[in-house]
Chains A and B, each alone.
Chain A
Amino acid sequence: MDKLTMTTMENSIRYPEETPDRLRIATSSKVVTRRNFFRLLGGGIAVALSQSCVYGWSDAPPVSEQLAADENTIAAWIHIHEDGSVSVFTGKVEVGQNIRTSLAQVVAEELAVPIQHIALIMGDTSLTPYDAGTFGSRTTPYMGPQLRKAAASLREALLEKAAKALKVPATALRAEAGKIVDGSSGKTLAYGTLTRGEKLLIPINEAVTLTAAEQWTVAGTSIPKINGRDFVTGKHQYTSDMVLPDMVYGKILRPPAYGATLAAVDVTKAKAMPHVTVVQTADFIGVTAPDPQTAANALARIAAQWNTTPQPSKAELFAYLKDNARHGGGDEDDRQEARRLFEASTHRLEHRVEVQYIAHVPLEPRAAIAEWNDGQLTVWTGTQRPFGVQEELAGAFSLAKEQVRVIMPDTGSAYGGKHSGEAALEAARLAKVVGKPVKIVWTREEEFKWAYFRPAGLIEVAAALKDDGTIASWEFHNYNSGNAGIDLPYEAGVKHIRYHPSRTPLRQGSYRALAATANVFAIECMVDDLARLLQRDPLEFRLSQLTDVRMRGVLTAAADRFGWGGKKAPGHGFGIACGFVKNSYIATCAEVAYGQANGQLEVVRLVAAYDCGAIVNPKHLENQVLGAILQGLGGALFEAIDFKDGRILNPTLSTYRVPRFADIPPLDIVLIDQKDIPSAGAGETPIVGTAPAIRNAIADATGVRLHQLPLIPQGLKMN
């Protein structure tokens, strides 16, 4: 490629280096149905995680029929090839949480194979079993154990097979490093040779014994990121990097504001450009061109007029959310009782907490490549829900699901922000008309304006204390943001807790830890203020109201590491907060410094303790905890979407601030490894402690009690 003009590159779609050649056949862009997939695999042995027993394999049609019928009960499968390499098929996807590594670890552990022999095939609707999506911290607690069970079932089947071959009892054999070893004779049989010339599909053994976390040698260790080198050389191909032969680039005409409709449009100038195609339907206008610059130029030459309708603005957001709320339901008796206790109490507080919309800002914006082939559609796209996008596409083009294949290459992050398939749909619409593969990569501005946000929320919370300092009543109303993390972890007399869905002025959806970022903030602000009302230490006050030993454990661990109760420099404040979401526990301590002279508020340091059960990969767990805390820092301090009349006013990285190097305080993380407790997912929960810990530290340093997120978008204003 010494001398190039505009070009497309042949054969430039790459699959992970470790993908076996035989799978490359199956991963050409033609649609592969699951039905014929098993035929494409070579010999060897496989296990499918199905409740029903599935015997035999490949050439006998009933098997594939049965597999197809069992589609919904199959969660994953593992195949050991004749050369001893192992393919693991899962519908989960990799977006930087490093599950490609952690899932390989648990398979390596149970199957007793070197981790280098394992390749994960992830998020491909034709090759992997159905999966609802990668969200909710569900991979580690659900997919992890299923794969362990599958791997252990395979190991036992191989032991049985070797026992027959060697004519010894299976109990005399052990599985080790991809081989069955006969301890007495010293004979070994590699897994691959055991099944040479055969195609075996075995049922999962639900009763199989799994290796206890205490015995782990591969799981539980800090295996580095699988294929990590590809990310430091630039070799890894994200969707936005991929090129198909003859591919063109697409751009979509966007309205200027929410609710705007097209009044008139003139596309003649764009149409007149060489190599440009304009695609126009009633509600959709897009262009394609041989390069992104020409596509952008063509889009700019479309003259469109829009009708706009009145839309809410940020200034009236919280009134709007409350006015448009639907009542959360349930009976009102406990509410009246909580009110009565509140009115009767001499120690009581009432807060109104405002939480702004914030953006995920995944650094790789939405991207997709769509290709039509004989009425079949193949789309590569970065999504947390490949099967959801498959359904979306099938619905949009009136196709059977089997006619749509969605493939998710390891993607440039998501944080809950990529559940949807907008770019996939747009690329598919354009590709259908132009008859060529089309790539769409959203601009940052499109990502800010037309993706979706973490919901804004209004929270009203009222709490009263008994004379003995315990919580007498707790009334909590969340308008719009959601019910994740809404339950009170503390002991309380009467509780009335409701989430009231509302109309949302902006498009909203999932976010790391969902509404727990808002609810835990509101809870932990109130609890801290109750402690201060009684002039009690916020840590001691919390511990006095908590019975959950694991919550107490993280609080104590964080406080110990932080030096809670130690001396503070003048102008400094300490804050603490804790939360329980999705079966894991976080406690965070913050130290802030307020400069009287300059009015600057600085987060001096953060300490967090986290307990998610047995740790699968300590280093990568720490990374996830750190990442969540830092994402939480942005939402705590300054991130907020500004909007007026349905227009996003800060849709750029110069106007929407996210944490950078200089914003990162010293951080200390305590990981509590609970070997006897099943591993929970860790991508979300650690985010929830950051904002309330900082807020409570600000209150400690300055006496100012903030009740909004972000806390100090323009610095701390002292009245």
Chain B
Amino acid sequence: MATIQLTVNRKAYEVDVDPQMPLLWVLRDVIGLTGTKFGCGIAQCGACTVHIDDAAVRSCAIPVESAANQSITTIEGLSADGSHPVQRAWEQIDVPQCGYCQAGQIMTAVALLKKNPNPTDEAINESMTNICRCGTYNRIKKAIKLAAEGA
């Protein structure tokens, strides 16, 4: 066990955990931010995507100690009420079905749009490697483009 300082959604946290515990479990089970999901545990599906600074990372495969003292953003940190432009686009396009992957999809999309405000289909395919088993991919693409227009 070790005491680790984290900054999540601009708030400071001190957690007393196994330093090897994946960031995902600290976010979900210690801090209680459950918007970020577990899907595979090996950084394949992207359900656990959060930001470290502005980069989208897969929190299931990052030991919490390596995220110490960095700025972490989760889906809850985008906005409390769904007013972030990407969340608004998602709602407008009515993207979610079961919804389980969508927090991760949105976080990946936000990071993509920060780097590339007008992504082509190819750029979306390349950056958006998250899995959606319900098959909402086409609507996600539409929502990313809508958010890009609105930005």
The chain A residues found within 8 Å of chain B, CB to CB, are 1-7, 9, 12, 95-98, 222, 224-225, 228-238, 240-241, 243, 249, 291-294, 297, 360-365, 410-413, 415, 441, 443-445, 619-620, 623-624, 626-631, 652-654, 658-662, 664, 667
Q: Which of B17, B28, B39, B75 contacts A363 (CB 8 A)?
A: B39
Q: Which A-chain residue is minimally distant from B28 (CB atoms)?
A: A241
A228 close to B91 (CB less than 8 A)? yes
Minimum-distance CB pairs A-B, first 7: A234-B35, A96-B98, A412-B100, A231-B99, A630-B135, A627-B135, A96-B97
Chain A residues in 8 Å Cβ range of B16: 5-6
Enumerate chain B interface residues (CB-CB to A < 8 A). 11-18, 20-22, 25, 28-42, 44-45, 47, 74-76, 78-82, 87, 90-91, 94-103, 106, 124-126, 128-141
Provided the pairs A3-B14, A234-B74, A236-B99 are in contact, do residues A652 and B32 lie with their beta carbons within 8 angstroms?
no
User: Contact check: which of B14, B25, B34, B97 meets A291 at CB < 8 Å?
Assistant: B25
> Which B residues lie within 8 Å of A6 (CB)?
16-17, 30
Instruction: Please indicate the chain A residues that have their CB under 8 angstroms from the CB of B130 in the complex.
Output: 660-661
Closest to B98 in A: A96
Partner of A619 from the list B75, B90, B94 (CB cut-off 8 Å) is B94
B30 touches A7 (CB 8 A): yes
Q: Are B135 and A631 in contact (CB under 8 A)?
A: yes
Query: Which of A2, A225, A292 sits near B25, CB closer than 8 Å?
Result: A292
A667 to B137, CA, bound (A): 11
Determine the chain A residues whose CB is within 8 A of the CB of B45 once the complex forms.
363, 444, 653
- With A364-B100, A627-B136, A653-B40 given, is the CB distance from A232 to B29 under 8 Å? no
Q: Which residues from chain A contact B47 at a C-beta distance below 8 Å?
A: 363
A9 to B17, CA, bound (A): 17
Q: A234-B36, A292-B25, A411-B98 are in contact. Are A1 and B137 (CB under 8 A)?
A: no
Give the distance in Å from the alpha carbon of A631 to the alpha carbon of B74 in the complex: 29
The answer to whether A225 touches B100, judged by C-beta atoms less than 8 angstroms apart, is no
Most chain A CB atoms below 10 A, which of B13, B37, B38, B134: B134
Question: Would you list 27 pairs from A and B whose C-beta atoms are within 8 A, ordered by A residue?
Answer: A1-B31, A96-B97, A96-B134, A97-B97, A224-B94, A230-B99, A232-B106, A233-B76, A233-B79, A241-B37, A243-B32, A291-B25, A291-B29, A292-B29, A361-B133, A363-B100, A363-B132, A363-B133, A413-B97, A444-B39, A444-B42, A630-B137, A653-B44, A660-B137, A661-B137, A662-B126, A667-B138
Q: Are B96 and A225 in contact (CB under 8 A)?
A: yes
8 Å CB contact of A238 from B75, B80, B81, B100: B100
Say yes or no: A240-B94 contact (C-beta < 8 A), given A5-B15, A292-B25, A660-B131.
no
Residues of B within 8 A of A630 (CB): 135, 137
Assembled-state Cα–Cα distance A228/B143 (Å): 14
Cα(A532)–Cα(B29), bound, Å: 59
Known A293-B18, A363-B101; contact A626-B96, beta-carbon cutoff 8 A: no
Query: In the docked arrangement, what's the CA distance between A451 and B109, Å?
Result: 32
**Residue contact B37 to A364, C-beta cutoff 8 Å:** yes
Shortest distance between the CB of A310 and any CB in chain B (Å): 31
Cα-based distance from A415 to B134 in the complex (angstroms): 9
Contact status B76-A234, CB under 8 Å: yes
**Nearest residue in A to B140 (C-beta to C-beta)?**
A661
Chain B hits for A240, CB < 8 A: 37-38
Report the bound CA distance from A364 to B98 in whole Å. Answer: 9
A415–B91 CB distance below 8 A? no
Closest A residue to B33 by beta carbon equals A234
- Output the least CB separation between A237 and chain B (Å): 7
Which chain A positions have C-beta within 8 A of B138? 626, 664, 667
Query: Which residue of A97, A229, A294, A660 is within 8 Å of B91 (Cβ)?
Result: A229
- A234-B135 in contact given A627-B97, A652-B44 (Cβ < 8 Å): no
**A233 and B37 in contact, given A4-B31, A5-B16, A658-B131 (Cβ under 8 angstroms):** no
Residues of B within 8 A of A441 (CB): 38
Interface contact A234-B32, CB-CB below 8 Å: no
- Give A415 Cβ to nearest chain B Cβ, in Å: 7
- Residues of chain A within 8 A (CB-CB) of B136 are 623, 627
Docked-complex contact A95 and B32, CB < 8 angstroms: no
User: When the two chains form their complex, are residues A629 and B135 in contact, meaning their CB atoms are under 8 A apart?
Assistant: yes
Whether B31 and A228, one on each chain, are in contact in the complex, defined by CB atoms closer than 8 angstroms, is no
A653 touches B42 (CB 8 A): yes
Q: In whole angstroms, what is the CA distance A348 to B35 when docked?
A: 58
Nearest-Cβ distance from residue A5 to partner chain B, whole angstroms: 5
Min CB distance B49 to A, Å, is: 11
- Which chain B positions have C-beta within 8 A of A98? 97
In the bound complex, CA of A243 to CA of B40 (Å): 21
